[in-house]
Amino acid sequence: MRFLVRLFAVIGLLAVLLVGGLVGLWLMLRPDAKPLPDGLVLSFDFQKSLAEAAPDDPIAGLLSGKQPTLVEVVTAIDRAAADPRVVGLVGTVGDSGGKGFAMTQELRDAIQRFRAAGKFTIAHAETFGELGSGMQGYYLATAFEQVWMQPMGDVSTTGLRAELPFLRGTLDKLNVVPQFEKRYEYKTFAEQYTNSEPSPANKEATESLIGDLFEQWVAGVAAARNLPVEAVRAAVDRAPLLDDEAVEAKLVDKLAYADEALDAAKAKGAKGNDTPVLDLLEYGSAARAEPTSAPPADAPKVALIVGSGPIMRGEGEVDPLSGESTFGAETVAEHFQAAIDDKDVRAILFRVDSPGGSAVASAVVGRMVDRARAAGKPVVISMGPVAASGGYWVSMKADRIVAQPGTITGSIGVVGGKMVTKGLTDWAGLNFVAIERGKNAGMWSSNNGFSPSQTERLNAFMDSTYDAFTRGVADGRKLPVEKVREIAKGRVYTGRQAKEIGLVDALGGYQTALAQVRELIGVAADAKVNLVPFPQPKGPIENLMDLMSGDTRAEAGRAVSALVAADLLAEIRPVIAPLAPYIRARSMDETVLLMPPLLVE
């Protein structure tokens, strides 16, 4: 058996070396990049799922493949807007690609800046929905000058809907008793386990959230399509709209196929049908490699650090089921320390996309924000689709907080507890005999409920954490603690609502956040900055080299396994990803600062 293990380890190592050698040979023999032509038209499939950052773990990098990041796409669009060689952009739209409301707004802003530079834009969709919601896909499409759709497509802009899951009935059937404490009434994360329907506070907050997001959608579509708000509302209430109905309602400009949209885009270029068309990210890579694209030597260096996913203690990980990353506090803290130690870094742009998680882990990252500021390096938060609960904790002490109008934020509160499964195990005939020392030794056991002394300790933890959270917000946001406690209570807000009550400084995305950075470091509003990801993203070759540098057979085996798994997961991930939240286990310390579950369609 030992011989077989060694044999397979050697085979794995040879396979990795062979793959690395072949890729290295290809890199040496490939032709040099050609200069970009004039009259260039760009194309991009905006239906692709976008990551907030490239994974820095080699295995995660191989598993995720080359998934584009939001900042790559936005940067490429902005670069193209200022490039006289680029005349237009044709985008494939329709499906949301799992983007949150705020990410869609970030892309819309970038496309509108591109249009403002005098470039043409055409969006083409096969359909907006087809037996599903087309709200996000159509919302993005309206940022383009023209919206084209394939004949037989439909515009399924049927509205926004929040579905709140409640499992109490199921738990009752299983004889499982949920025991949770919270601070306060709007911190409704545990209601999915403790209730059969939403509490009045839960319903009030969700109504407000969905109502504001819907108003943003209607106003954005109406302005982009030059339609009265009432006409857009009427179209939503009529939807799904058939292809001719969508044209009649002025939601779609033309019915045509994808090849016809591409031909029309080419015709707008100087060379007609011979106009060169290049993928947006390929353009971005080629333009970035040009000597003239390098920032000036005196451009301020700004570190870009991304914290994405549920906040956990330890290192960040990638869930192979969903492809989603975790916000590892240790990993993010290391990135902060590297930026603090880099004498050339003038400021830190911290991108936060997280529904929350561990209070302890959130405090670790919050401490690094304090240390960066103490080192004379301002920290500006750019909130992604979600920056709530623990995601707000890590943001609250920053110099400035920027969010999109549709960012989900706030949820300043705490919840904790456990599931008591004794009824289920008794029914199944499973008996546990406890031998313990210490009055509260069984506090976190699922085989018994909280005793009075344990309940007192849990509530002391709730009060302490909530007090630290609200006082931290008051200190960071320069607000009276009484006002913070009034607007906190675990309530979730949109970015637009959060700005109105002082939890956010400005509305926008990366460009707005960088404007805040420039102001804080005292440079001109149009000064170029050198935005550098911390850590620098690695390509497939670097990931393979990192794995091989471990000098162990196990690392070689992991590399081969990762390459095989990447192909397999690419096929099955779309099927199993929706199940991941239900089958991924989380410990107690990862759920105390989480926003309530919310599925918005």
Strands 177-183 and 414-420: antiparallel
CA angle 403, 409, 413 (to 5 degrees): 150
Question: Helices (H), strands (E): how many in the chain?
Answer: 23, 24
> Is 389 noted as a catalytic residue in this protein?
yes
pLDDT given at position 133: 87
- Residue 274 neighbours by CB distance under 10 Å: 9
The whole-number average pLDDT for the span 323-347 is 92
**CA–CA distance, 290 with 372 (Å, rounded to integer):** 33
In the set 119, 187, 422, 489, the catalytic residue is 187
Question: pTM of the predicted model, to two decimals?
Answer: 0.86
Task: For residue range 12-52, list pLDDT tens digits in order.
Answer: 554 555 555 545 544 444 445 578 888 999 999 999 999 98
> Is 187 noted as a catalytic residue in this protein?
yes
Whether residue 534 is predicted with pLDDT greater than 60 in this model: the reply is: yes
Task: For residue range 250-285, list pLDDT tens digits in order.
Answer: 999 999 999 999 999 999 887 777 889 999 999 999
Whether residue 527 is predicted with pLDDT greater than 50 in this model: the reply is: yes
Q: Which of 236-240, 383-387, 439-443, 552-556 bottoms out in mean pLDDT, i.e. has the lowest?
A: 552-556
CATH class of the structural domain 37-161+204-289: alpha beta
The whole-number average pLDDT for the span 482-496 is 96
Whether residue 578 is predicted with pLDDT greater than 70 in this model: the reply is: no
**CA–CA distance, 577 with 575 (Å, rounded to integer):** 6
In the set 96, 322, 358, 389, the catalytic residue is 389
C-alpha pair distances (Å), 376 with each of 337, 473, 477:
13, 21, 19
**CA–CA distance, 174 with 420 (Å, rounded to integer):** 11
What CATH number belongs to 297-412+465-600? 3.90.226.10
Which residues lie below 8 Å from residue 308, measured CB to CB, with a gap of 6+?
Answer: 51, 52, 53, 325, 327, 351, 352, 353, 354, 384
Task: For residue range 192-233, list pLDDT tens digits in order.
Answer: 999 999 999 999 999 999 999 999 999 999 999 999 999 999
The whole-number average pLDDT for the span 228-239 is 96
Whether residue 537 is predicted with pLDDT greater than 80 in this model: the reply is: no
Task: For residue range 142-171, list pLDDT tens digits in order.
Answer: 999 999 999 999 999 999 988 889 999 999
The whole-number average pLDDT for the span 347-366 is 95
Task: For residue range 436-453, list pLDDT tens digits in order.
Answer: 999 999 999 999 999 999
Q: How many CA atoms lie within 13 A of 239 on its CB side?
A: 29
Beta strands in 399-477 (DSSP E): 400-403, 408-410, 414-420
Are the beta carbons of 281 and 76 closer than 8 angstroms?
A: yes
Q: Which of 68-82, 140-154, 351-365, 576-590 bottoms out in mean pLDDT, i.e. has the lowest?
A: 576-590
Task: For residue range 55-78, list pLDDT tens digits in order.
Answer: 765 555 555 556 899 999 999 999
Are the beta carbons of 467 and 183 closer than 8 angstroms?
A: no
What is the residue extent of each domain of the chain?
A: 37-161+204-289, 297-412+465-600
Task: For residue range 98-124, list pLDDT tens digits in order.
Answer: 888 999 999 999 999 999 999 999 999
Amino acid at 57: D
Using 50, 70 and 90 to split pLDDT, how confident is the model at 319? low
Q: And the tokens for 456? A: 């007192």
**CA–CA distance, 273 with 267 (Å, rounded to integer):** 6
Q: Give the mean pLDDT of the chain.
A: 85
**Alpha helices (runs of H) in 175-328, residue ranges in sequence order:** 191-194, 200-225, 229-238, 243-248, 258-267, 280-289
**Run of H or E including 19:** helix 2-29
Whether residue 555 is predicted with pLDDT greater than 60 in this model: the reply is: no
- Residue 546 neighbours by CB distance under 10 Å: 17
Nearest Cα to Cα of residue 393 among 418, 417, 368: 368
The whole-number average pLDDT for the span 294-308 is 92
